[in-house]
């Protein structure tokens, strides 16, 4: 875990770049069954300023997923670009997905947890092996479209107006 902890106290107020290799050992640390294996290159750019630290994560690679249909493993390509802003404040906490409040006493950032969460969020809900993709898309296009048509008869007159016409 210390490999993915960045010492922010010792960083100068400028841009810093870190490179990480995320593999099976990385995913085993988090114990989630969504991704057991994967091979990713991660680039982290930290821009330390007076009141905040801007972190830009760029991660590319492949996750080994298990097909929901055939239970065969397959590689799913993932490429992502995310930004998180760490602002200094009195109480630590998350303001939103992209803004996190940290205290000035905090000396390290665990960027591994963020990288793991970003990758897991890119995994599709429906994990289908590429050899079944076309077949799956065909099924969705047949059942997935709702076609609704109405024919408007322009000559039809509302029965209420019909009675008024007779009054002439």
pLDDT of residue 44: 95
User: Per residue in 5-29, pLDDT tens?
Assistant: 888 888 889 999 999 999 988 888 8
H-helix or E-strand containing 138?
Answer: helix 130-143
Q: How far apart are CA 60 and CA 85, in angstroms?
A: 21
What mean pLDDT do residues 105-131 have?
90
pLDDT at 62 over 90: yes
Q: Please answer whether residues 39 and 95 qualify as being in contact, where contact means their C-beta atoms are separated by less than 8 angstroms.
A: no
**Main-chain phi, psi angles of 19, to 5 degrees:** -120, 135
Please work out, in degrees rounded to the nearest 5, the angle formed at the alpha carbon of residue 12 by the alpha carbons of 43 and 116.
30
* Stated length of the chain: 168
Arithmetic mean of pLDDT over the chain: 85
Write out the two tokens for 17.
């770049």
Write out the two tokens for 143.
């059942």
């Amino acid at each position: 875990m210390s490999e993915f902890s960045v010492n922010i106290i010792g960083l100068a107020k400028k841009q810093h770049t870190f490179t990480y290799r995320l593999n099976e050992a990385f995913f085993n640390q988090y114990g989630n069954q969504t991704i057991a294996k994967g091979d990713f290159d991660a680039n982290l750019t930290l821009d330390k300023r007076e009141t905040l630290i801007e972190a830009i994560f760029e991660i590319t690679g492949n996750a080994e997923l298990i097909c929901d249909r055939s239970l065969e493993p397959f590689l799913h390509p993932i490429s992502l670009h995310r930004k998180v802003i760490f602002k200094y404040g009195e109480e630590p906490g998350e303001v939103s997905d992209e803004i996190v409040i940290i205290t000035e006493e905090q000396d390290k950032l665990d960027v591994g947890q963020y990288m793991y969460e970003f990758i897991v969020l890119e995994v599709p809900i429906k994990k289908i092996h590429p050899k079944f993709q076309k077949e799956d898309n065909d099924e969705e296009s047949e059942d997935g479209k709702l076609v609704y048509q109405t024919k408007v008869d322009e000559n039809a007159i509302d029965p209420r107006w019909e009675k008024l016409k007779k009054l002439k």
